[in-house]
Amino acid sequence: MIELHERTPKLLEKGNYVRFLSPEENFSPTFKANVIYQVKSNVQVVFYTAFIIPPGDVSLVKLNNDEDALGLYPENPKTLYEVLVGFGGTEDIIIYPMMPSTDYLLYLEKAGMRPNPGLPQLRYLGMYTTSDSPVNNPRLVLYFVKDMDQFALQLYNTNTKEDEKLIVRFVINKCYLEEVREEVKAPVKDILHYKLLRW
Amino acid sequence: MPAVVVTANTEGETAFETPIIRVGKILGIIINNQSANDITISITDKFTPSPTVTNPSPTEKEVTKFEVTIPSGQYETFNLSRSPIKILGTCRVVASATDTACKIAIIYSFELI
């Protein structure tokens, strides 16, 4: 559900195939795991937003469809959102992916090797800065389907003297999917459940 | 490159509004104080921060980014192109006296990254 590429990846197109991988029978309430779906139609929607974070402070930006969130999850049970995310504005704000929104998504295997903005030696673990996925060359991709667990970005302003602004550009590739029952020989794009990122 | 000229005013004059998805950068300031008195000029940034862990309901705030006193009859230029002043919201010019004989020019740009 989250991928950081070396360069801007190609978006899914009409006719492409995807498969959701999950440790459970279902990837989400609306999509089955290990079943192949085909993109029947798609369209790209661009959305810019920005956040001003006070010195040394932390903000939690939820991306799902809650009242206080950005609303970047589909409502249609057959829709997949493939979201390219680019950051601009300042290098001083670091961005932690959170999934579910109370847990850091990315960490290492040794005990204690988890992000911790309060500890300088662990502050820059499992996070992104604007240069990891710049606005004009986005490399971070997220995948959202209806009623998925809540994904969030935790924004931490490392500048202890000044407010900083982070600009975020989302390119949302709205894909309408249909289940495929016949055998598929073409390449299939695998989309991993976040629980598969924690082995 | 855009530029704006305002006159000294104790209430403050808006120089420019930074679009939400841009960061304003002041690259130069020119102050021509032909009034009879010395005048202190403050450049401020007015904005509302995002809700945070420590402040879930933030209110608008105004931060002073640059301040200088120009003696009567003086003309001063500040080239800030090497270290621009960042403006996140509304850029305002606030003076210690109201006088149309004191003019302040701001040269600025808007940037995405």
Cβ atoms A159, A66 nearer than 8 A = no
What is the mean pLDDT of the segment spanning A137-163?
Answer: 96
Q: What is the tally of helices (H) and strands (E) in chain A?
A: 1, 10
Name the residue facing A52 among B54, B88, B112 (closest C-beta). Answer: B88
Chain B residues inside the 8 Å CB shell of A90: 23
B49 touches chain A (CB under 8 A): yes
pTM reported for the whole predicted model: 0.92
Structure tokens at B12: 């403050």
B110's enclosing H/E stretch is strand B99-111
% pLDDT > 70, chain A: 100
Report the mean per-residue pLDDT for chain A: 95
Under an 8 A CB cutoff, do A53 and B49 touch? yes
State the residue range of the domain holding B88: 3-111
HSE value, Cβ hemisphere, 13 Å, CA-based, for A69? 15
ipTM above 0.95, yes or no: no
Between the alpha carbon of residue A120 and those of residues A87, A155, A172, the distances in Å are 22, 16, 34
Report whether pLDDT(A124) > 80.
yes
Is the CA virtual torsion A186, A189, A190, A193 positive or negative? negative
Under an 8 A CB cutoff, do A163 and B113 touch? no
End-to-end CA distance of chain B: 17
Structure tokens at A65: 């469809």
Under an 8 A CB cutoff, do B113 and A130 touch? yes
Is the backbone of residue A10 left (phi > 0), alpha (psi -120 to 50) or beta? Answer: beta
Whole-number Å distance between alpha carbons of A167 and A169: 7
Whole-number Å distance between alpha carbons of A53 and A38: 41
State the residue range of the domain holding A124: 2-197
Tell which of B55, B85, B112 to mutate to test the A interface (max A CBs under 10 Å).
Answer: B112
Q: What tens digit of pLDDT does each residue of A8-50 get?
A: 999 999 999 999 999 999 999 999 999 999 999 999 999 999 9
Report whether pLDDT(A198) > 90.
no
What is the mean pLDDT of the segment spanning B41-65?
Answer: 97
Report the mean per-residue pLDDT for chain B: 97
Distance from CA of B22 to the nearest CA of A (A): 7
Phi, psi of A197 (to 5 degrees): -85, -5
Size of interface A-B (CB pairs under 8 A): 61
β-strand A36-53 against A164-179: which pairing, if any?
antiparallel
The single residue listed with the structure tokens 């995405």 is B112
Residue type, B21: I
Number of structural domains (chain A) is 1
B48 touches chain A (CB under 8 A): yes
Between the alpha carbon of residue B95 and those of residues A21, B5, B12, B43, the distances in Å are 62, 14, 7, 9
Q: Give pLDDT, residue A199.
A: 82
Structure tokens at A102: 């109370």
Provide the CATH number for the domain around residue B45. Answer: 2.60.120
Residue in A with minimal Cα distance to B52: A59
What is the mean pLDDT of the segment spanning A41-64?
Answer: 97
Whole-number Å distance between alpha carbons of A62 and A45: 19
Name the residue facing B21 among A50, A155, A163 (closest C-beta). Answer: A50
Number of structural domains (chain B) is 1
